[in-house]
Structure 1
Amino acid sequence: MKYKKKIIFRADGNSKTGLGHLYRIFALIEMLKENYEYVLITRADSELIIIPKSYSVEVIPSKISITEEPDWLLEKYETTNSIVIADGYAYDSNYQKSIKKVGYKLIYIDDLTATEMFADVVINHSLVVKPEHFKAKPETEFALGSHYAMLRPKFIEIAKKSKQPSNVKEVFVSFGGADFYDLTSKAVRALTNLNYVKKIHVLIGAANKHKNIYKIEEENSNVVIHKNLPEAEVLDVMEKCQLAIVPSSTISYEVCSVKMLVICGYFIDNQELIYNGLREKKVIFPAGDFTHYDVIRFERVINEAIELDMTEQNEMLRNQKTLFDGNQKERFLDIINRIN
């Protein structure tokens, strides 16, 4: 059954901002599209190629500024019949106040706990954030922690399953849609120096402009580049692997849901809260700040992680299973229904 209210999903993603905000919105669309009409609103400089063709999409004209957006939305979508879900750093206190002022209900997806919140509901899926970390109105609701992880449906399902550790033969590497520091090439180059690694699967986003990784693929028959894969194919690739090297963004939650040895760090501010939570819960091998990494340091950390005994790895996989219970869709539906 479809409810009458429409959800306006608002996010952008490109080589400057990364693609994480869009991918989280995609996850929410998949959870909610059976129950609600929706539209994805994005700007023309977003990587439109990654948006599934089946989605209802509207592109904001370039002449419309961020401050003009609320009035532009108001001309197109009635406030009584619409809820806005926004994911991105441009939607600060002023934007939130403007959206509320024109009459919309607002859900804001946060990473930084930095801006004053005026949204009806704030979502932050870090494992360490609490309501007291925010400056917000007394009536603001919070949806915090891995129970509100914005995972795509197939990852929610596989998260319910258990898995045993095994020797590392295939490795999954991904540093997000943009990979500002070309960390992908450095990590993959390190892996090609390790004889026990038989295959290296590299997932690259549409916003990745670096060319080094293609040269590495040409030189090494065990390196396979995957680009802009749909959800099911991403999962298939991950399931082949016993080790992942990823940043502490949503993709770290995805590899934890699949369950494997995970080398995880951060390279931008918005990843630190998730990183701290994953480290505290002992579900990753903590790598710290990736911006200081070169090939040699990647090689050293990979070897350190591999040397963990099976007991330690098994505990890590058991801890990963506790993060996600598979009920995220029901929780998000409950939030939407409640503020209707």
Structure 2
Amino acid sequence: MTKKIIFRADGNGETGLGHLYRLFSLVETVRDHYEFVFLTKASSTHSVIPESYNLGVIPENSSLSEEANWLSENFSAENHIIIADGYQFNAAYQKAIKSKGYKLVYIDDLASEHMYADVVVNHSPNIAQSNYKCETYTNFALGTKYALLRPIFLKLAKQSRSIEKIDTAFVCFGGADLFDLTGKATKALLGMSLFTIVHVVLGAAYQHENILMLKESHPDRLKIHKNLSAEALAKVMQSCNFAIAPSSTILYELSCIKMLILSGYYVDNQELIYKGFLCKKAIFKGGNMTNYQESDFSELMHSILNSGQFEEQIRAQQNMFDDQIASRHLKLIGPLCCE
């Protein structure tokens, strides 16, 4: 008997949508091979979940500590495995899920919890099993060869690209962007005549007014986007040759397109990814961007554009991904579904 897959993640405009989007990439990889249900809380932003998905909603009054019981009452461990992505799915949660008899795959990017999952996936560059504490049965799928990428980006990752000139920029900090890094980076880019077009993708909960004032003063140079499909996002990225973005899922997608990227971090879960990409020389050093102002972005960009290290970064991005990523994920999940 082949088991069905429960994909489990939450996300909304305030907490971010990254965990949802990472699981979407796995759904697209396995959906032609296994039946599945996508489970999320009622408070998640359901509008971003594709209508074609078999969606299940966990009651808001079902606490995290009670979730294992709720799952076992509604989806038998005999017929289902679970793939979970979210920081709330800590050691206690994993242990409770395992006690119900489920096979569990956990998507991680912190390497901080003791792992009770059967398989841990962490696509941060340079991550090692030695970074983890785990059970003896736990297996690991680590590094960018297990990158969680949507099909369009997996396809584009295989294509080569050369950058002949720098004139079009891309900015995306996602979510609510508490520090308005979007506005500060965009203003810095617009202050450089080199950039004729600046594309900005806003997060679902972005509410700062600075970007709207910039649009009024630069109506022809500034293009603002929201709620893009994966295909539309890829198309916008392909029109650009320089990007400013945090070390999150968006960095993986930009690296698949291949361009010059200034990246940094402003929350803890981005730091490990940032250090990995920096070690691979696939990005320019942005560091902790929490206190960044427009002048910080301007200073870094002038330094980058005078460095001449363009081809080295493009080659590094090209070498981070191959054409076997989807098949690796299938080989990872297959044995758990067929036990």
| TM-score computed with the length of structure 1 as normaliser | 0.96
Which residue number in structure 2 is paired with residue 167 of structure 1? 165
- For residues 109 and 317 of structure 1, the distance between their equivalents in structure 2, rounded to whole angstroms, comes to 27
- For residues 5 and 207 of structure 2, the distance between their equivalents in structure 1, rounded to whole angstroms, comes to 33
Q: In the alignment, residue 317 of structure 1 is paired with which amino acid?
A: I
The alignment's C-alpha RMSD in Å is 1.2
Instruction: Look up the SS of the partner of 1:67 in the other structure.
Output: helix
- For residues 9 and 208 of structure 2, the distance between their equivalents in structure 1, rounded to whole angstroms, comes to 24
- For residues 93 and 197 of structure 1, the distance between their equivalents in structure 2, rounded to whole angstroms, comes to 47
1:233 equivalenced with 2:232 (yes/no): yes
Structure 1 residue 17: Cα displacement: 2.2
Q: In the alignment, residue 96 of structure 2 is paired with which amino acid?
A: S
Q: 1:281 to 1:89 in 2, by over 3 A?
A: same
Q: In the alignment, residue 315 of structure 1 is paired with which amino acid?
A: E
Range with bigger deviation, 101-110 or 176-185? 176-185
> Does the CA-based 8 Å contact 2:77-2:101 persist in structure 1?
yes
Structure 1 residue 254: Cα displacement: 0.7
Instruction: Look up the SS of the partner of 1:229 in the other structure.
Output: coil
1:278 equivalenced with 2:277 (yes/no): yes
Q: Deviations over 1:203-252 (max 9, x none)?
A: 11223233332232222121111101001100100000010100001110
Instruction: Look up the SS of the partner of 1:244 in the other structure.
Output: strand
Task: Kindly report which structure 2 residues correspond to 1:163-202, keeping only aligned pairs within 5 A, or say none.
Answer: 163-202=161-200
Structure 1 residue 308: Cα displacement: 2.3
Q: In the alignment, residue 16 of structure 2 is paired with which amino acid?
A: G
Task: Kindly report which structure 2 residues correspond to 1:1-340, keeping only aligned pairs within 5 A, or say none.
Answer: 4-221=2-219, 222-309=221-308, 312-340=309-337
Structure 1 residue 125: Cα displacement: 0.5
> Does the CA-based 8 Å contact 1:127-1:277 persist in structure 2?
yes
Q: Deviations over 1:114-171 (max 9, x none)?
A: 1110000001011121111100011100000000100111111111111112221110
Percent identity between the aligned chains? 46
> Does the CA-based 8 Å contact 2:14-2:175 persist in structure 1?
no
Instruction: Look up the SS of the partner of 1:79 in the other structure.
Output: coil
- For residues 206 and 16 of structure 1, the distance between their equivalents in structure 2, rounded to whole angstroms, comes to 8
Structure 1 residue 328: Cα displacement: 1.3
> Does the CA-based 8 Å contact 1:50-1:206 persist in structure 2?
no
Range with bigger deviation, 182-191 or 214-223? 214-223
- For residues 259 and 339 of structure 1, the distance between their equivalents in structure 2, rounded to whole angstroms, comes to 34
- For residues 212 and 53 of structure 2, the distance between their equivalents in structure 1, rounded to whole angstroms, comes to 31
Q: Deviations over 1:245-288 (max 9, x none)?
A: 00001110111110000001000000011100100000111111
